[in-house]
């Protein structure tokens, strides 16, 4: 449609508006808006839709003023449709509410005649008005208006068909309040067989779509209160299969919702090149309660024995319903089935055996290398543990992980083999290690040597001090001994003199025969005896003094070996210090 055609339609719509042919004007605005929408002018189309809604509202006002309420309701629903399409929900709800009120006004007009036919038309329009209220989420208003209408016109609504019509909102309200699916099914049947038929008979079939939308709203309300099923699926496809094998395909269907899934159906879809061998490709379950699961399985096989590797797509599609017979779809996949002309698990196990042997050899090579063995052996231990995990992955059919893990281990072994096999690097490493050892040894030996020599020198100083002290004490002791010996010698000399004096006195005494006096003779005898006794004791003292003077205790000279030992210790310490210094110098020279 050209721009001129669109302009012409808009001009005609304007003219219709001026003639107050609002309904015709609104239809032409809609036509022009649709043309703009097809050309991508959504902004212009929205303005025309809004103008159409305004025109329908004016048409409704005109019909309402002439008490043609059904036509007013038709125009208000059209206005509501336009406003809803352009996203003006609040204005749309207001338009639909006015349409429902217009239908109730039209119903009252029909009931004024008092005829059964007119009463049925009136009840039909009133119930359609209630369904419009329900459609826009004002179900409480819809149920209330229906009850009020029935109470006000109870005496006129005695015809059985009219009674059944007037009870439809109550049936829907009861189904919602009791969350009764069966009650809703009865009400839904009444809506379809009674209300929609009555609308057609009354020439008001245009309102049928709003009645259907009202039913959908009730269904959504019930669904919000009902326990709804929820199906999740999982494909269980075999791994490591060959073209010559028959294999199972499984799908696990689980209901993780709150309600039962009814009329559940699942069907397998497999790629060309796979033959269905056994099992049902399509399966139906009447009901799957919440928390339960079902497994469907078929057996398949490749149509041809091919070479290499080929992938096939596997898919399961199906459907299920809730208690309101709302249909949901389910799907498992698509999954990928891989077939080969060899067993991947067998190849991985063969490669695993080879890699394990390589790791063992690597451990022996490390023992012969100049590298630090502890960290290298820890790496080898980690590789061995990874190989154990590879075997576990194969047992669990996780072949991709096993293959990747084995590849990483082989890369590590290759890298370590390259390092250990690099002779130039190993020689350089050995030289570097030897140099580092020498530097380290020198750094350690120097302080140790200095510490030992310092300790020996300190002991020498202590020993020299002690030797000097011992010598000084020995000199003092010798002086004391000399003094004592001299004193004793003098005593011995004096004792000898006393003995000589006693001998002289004894020799000068007259003998007993020289006197005739008895008393004198006795006195002399006693005196001589006393002199002899004194001489004997004095001789004993002299002898003892001689022995004392000759005793070793008073001998002067190096009678103690302590000073000698101290000198010997000093000599040993000096010799030890010189030997250690020489040895350390030789070791340091060897580390250059």
Number of compact structural domains in the chain: 4
Compute CA 53 distance to the chain's CA centroid, rounded to the nearest angstrom.
Answer: 57
Question: Of residues 477 and 251, which shows the higher confidence score?
Answer: 251
Residue 436: inside a domain: no
Quick one: pLDDT at residue 44? Answer: 82
Instruction: Describe the crossing of helices 344-368 and 373-395 by its angle, rounded to 10 degrees.
Output: 170
**With 70 as the cut, is the pLDDT of residue 520 above it?**
no
Residue 41: inside a domain: no
Mean pLDDT of 29-53: 82
Residue 2: inside a domain: no
Q: Are residues 80 and 177 in the same domain?
A: yes
**Structure confidence by residue, pLDDT tens digits, 82-125:** 999 888 999 999 999 999 999 999 999 888 877 888 889 999 99
**With 50 as the cut, is the pLDDT of residue 29 above it?**
yes
**Structure confidence by residue, pLDDT tens digits, 215-270:** 999 988 888 887 889 999 999 999 888 999 999 999 999 999 988 999 999 999 99
Mean pLDDT of 53-62: 88
Quick one: pLDDT at residue 125? Answer: 93
**DSSP conformation class of 511:** P
CB atoms within 10 A of CB 256: 12
Quick one: pLDDT at residue 442? Answer: 66
The residue range of the domain holding 373 is: 347-421
Q: Which helix (H) or strand (E) holds 542?
A: helix 518-550
**Structure confidence by residue, pLDDT tens digits, 280-314:** 999 999 999 999 999 999 999 999 988 889 999 99
Residue 59: inside a domain: no
Q: Contact, 290 vs 266, CB < 8 A?
A: no
Residues constituting the chain: 592
**With 60 as the cut, is the pLDDT of residue 514 above it?**
no
Question: Of residues 421 and 410, which shows the higher confidence score?
Answer: 410
Quick one: pLDDT at residue 134? Answer: 94
Q: Of the candidates 340, 357, 386, which is a domain's last residue?
A: 340
Residue 414: inside a domain: yes
Tokens for 413, please give them: 């072994």
Quick one: pLDDT at residue 461? Answer: 76
- Percent of the chain at pLDDT exceeding 90: 32
Side-chain-side CA neighbours of 345 within 13 Å: the count stands at 13
pLDDT band at 558; cut points 50, 70, 90: low
pLDDT band at 358; cut points 50, 70, 90: confident
Tokens for 369, please give them: 């290398």
Q: Are residues 149 and 219 in the same domain?
A: yes
Q: Are residues 311 and 181 in the same domain?
A: no
pTM higher than 0.75: no
CB atoms within 10 A of CB 518: 8
pLDDT band at 509; cut points 50, 70, 90: low
325: left (phi over 0), alpha (psi -120 to 50) or beta: left
pLDDT band at 160; cut points 50, 70, 90: confident
Question: Where do runs of H (alpha helix) occur along 113-180?
Answer: 116-135, 139-152, 160-166, 168-178
3-class state of residue 228 by DSSP: coil
Q: Are residues 409 and 515 in the same domain?
A: no
Quick one: pLDDT at residue 335? Answer: 93
Q: Are residues 79 and 97 in the same domain?
A: yes
Q: Are residues 333 and 353 in the same domain?
A: no
Q: Are residues 98 and 82 in the same domain?
A: yes
Tokens for 108, please give them: 């009252």
Closest residue by Cα to residue 450 from 588, 288, 243, 255: 588
Q: Are residues 366 and 499 in the same domain?
A: no
Question: Of residues 500 and 263, which shows the higher confidence score?
Answer: 263
Q: Contact, 255 vs 285, CB < 8 A?
A: no
Q: Of the candidates 340, 359, 388, which is a domain's last residue?
A: 340
CB atoms within 10 A of CB 402: 24
Quick one: pLDDT at residue 365? Answer: 82
Residue 429: inside a domain: no
Q: Are residues 331 and 368 in the same domain?
A: no
Q: What are the Cα distances from residue 46, in Å, to 13, 95, 315? A: 16, 17, 43
Query: Helix-strand-coil percent breakdown of the chain, rounded to 5?
Result: 70, 15, 15
Q: Contact, 82 vs 53, CB < 8 A?
A: yes
Q: Are residues 276 and 394 in the same domain?
A: no
Q: Are residues 282 and 218 in the same domain?
A: no
Residues 6+ apart with CB under 8 A from 196: 205, 208, 211
Q: Which of 129-138, 386-395, 418-427 has the lowest mean pLDDT?
A: 418-427
Pairing of strands 282-288, 309-321: unpaired
Mean pLDDT of 62-78: 91
Residue 239: inside a domain: yes
Q: How far apart are CA 162 and CA 158, in angstroms?
A: 7
pLDDT band at 433; cut points 50, 70, 90: low
Q: What are the Cα distances from residue 498, in Å, to 535, 543, 549? A: 8, 13, 19
Domain CATH for 289: 2.60.40.10
Main-chain phi, psi angles of 369, to 5 degrees: -95, 160
**DSSP conformation class of 336:** E
Task: Share the mean pLDDT of the chain.
Answer: 81
**With 90 as the cut, is the pLDDT of residue 517 above it?**
no
Domain CATH for 469: 1.10.287
Question: Of residues 353 and 555, which shows the higher confidence score?
Answer: 353
Mean pLDDT of 170-183: 88
Residue 38: inside a domain: no
Q: Of the candidates 390, 421, 452, which is a domain's last residue?
A: 421
Q: How far apart are CA 556 and CA 478, in angstroms?
A: 5
Tokens for 517, please give them: 């006096």
Q: Are residues 476 and 564 in the same domain?
A: yes
3-class state of residue 569 by DSSP: helix
Mean pLDDT of 567-575: 70
**Structure confidence by residue, pLDDT tens digits, 361-391:** 888 888 777 777 788 888 888 888 998 998 9
**Structure confidence by residue, pLDDT tens digits, 122-135:** 999 999 999 999 99
Question: Of residues 443 and 261, which shows the higher confidence score?
Answer: 261
Query: How buried is residue 504: exposed, middle or buried, by Cβ count under 10 Å (0-12/13-18/19+)?
Result: exposed
């Amino acid at each position: 449609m050209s721009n001129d055609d669109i302009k012409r339609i808009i001009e005609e719509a304007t003219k219709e508006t001026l003639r107050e042919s609002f309904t015709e004007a609104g239809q032409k605005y809609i036509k022009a808006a649709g043309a703009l929408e097809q050309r991508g002018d959504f902004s212009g189309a929205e303005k025309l839709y809004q103008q159409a809604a305004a025109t329908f509202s004016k048409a409704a006002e005109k019909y309402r003023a002439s008490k043609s309420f059904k036509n007013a309701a038709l125009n208000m629903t059209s206005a509501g449709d336009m406003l809803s399409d352009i996203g003006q929900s609040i204005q749309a709800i207001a338009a639909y509410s006015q349409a429902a009120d217009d239908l109730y006004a039209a119903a009252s007009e029909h009931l004024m005649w008092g005829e059964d036919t007119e009463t049925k038309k009136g009840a039909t329009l009133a119930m359609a008005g209630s369904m419009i209220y329900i459609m826009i989420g004002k179900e409480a208003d819809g149920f209330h208006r229906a009850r009020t209408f029935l109470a006000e016109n109870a005496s006129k609504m005695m015809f059985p068909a009219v009674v059944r019509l007037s009870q439809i909102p109550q049936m829907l309200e009861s189904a919602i309040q009791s969350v009764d699916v069966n009650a809703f099914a009865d009400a839904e049947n009444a809506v379809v067989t009674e209300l929609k038929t009555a609308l057609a008979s009354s020439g008001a079939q245009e309102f049928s779509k709003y009645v259907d939308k009202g039913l959908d709203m009730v269904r959504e309300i019930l669904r919000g209160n009902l326990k709804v099923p929820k199906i999740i699926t999982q494909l269980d496809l075999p791994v490591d299969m060959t073209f010559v094998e028959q294999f199972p395909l499984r799908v696990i269907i689980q209901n993780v919702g709150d309600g039962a899934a009814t009329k559940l159906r699942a069907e397998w879809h497999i790629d060309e090149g796979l033959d269905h061998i056994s099992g049902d490709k399509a399966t139906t379950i009447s009901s799957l309660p919440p928390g339960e699961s079902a497994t469907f399985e078929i057996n398949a096989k490749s149509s041809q024995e091919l070479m290499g590797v080929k992938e096939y797509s596997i898919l399961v599609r199906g459907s299920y319903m809730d208690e309101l017979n709302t249909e949901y779809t389910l799907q498992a996949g698509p999954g990928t089935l891989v077939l080969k002309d060899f067993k991947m698990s067998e190849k991985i196990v063969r490669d695993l055996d080879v890699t394990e042997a390589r790791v063992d050899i690597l451990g022996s090579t490390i023992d012969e290398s100049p590298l630090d063995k502890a960290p290298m052996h820890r790496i080898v231990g980690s590789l061995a543990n990874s190989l154990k995990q590879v075997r576990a992955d194969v047992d669990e059919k996780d072949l991709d992980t096993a293959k990747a893990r084995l590849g990483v281990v082989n890369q590590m072994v290759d890298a370590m083999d390259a390092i250990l096999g690099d002779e130039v690097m190993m020689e350089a490493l050995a030289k570097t290690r030897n140099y580092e050892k020498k530097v380290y040894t020198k750094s350690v030996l120097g302080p140790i040597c200095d510490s030992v020599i310092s300790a020996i020198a300190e002991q020498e100083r202590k020993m020299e001090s002690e030797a000097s002290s011992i010598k000084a004490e020995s000199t003092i002791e010798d002086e004391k001994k000399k003094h004592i010996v001299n004193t004793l010698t003098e005593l011995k000399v004096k004792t000898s003199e006393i003995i000589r004096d006693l001998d002289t006195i004894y020799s000068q005494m007259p003998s007993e025969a020289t006197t005739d006096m008895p008393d004198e003779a006795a006195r002399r005898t006693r005196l001589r005896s006393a002199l002899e006794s004194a001489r004997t004791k004095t001789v004993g003292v002299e002898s003892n003094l001689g022995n004392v003077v000759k005793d070793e205790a008073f001998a002067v000279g190096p009678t103690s070996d302590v000073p000698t030992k101290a000198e010997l210790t000093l000599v040993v310490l000096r010799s030890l210090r010189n030997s250690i210094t020489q040895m350390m110098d030789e070791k340091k020279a060897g580390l250059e």
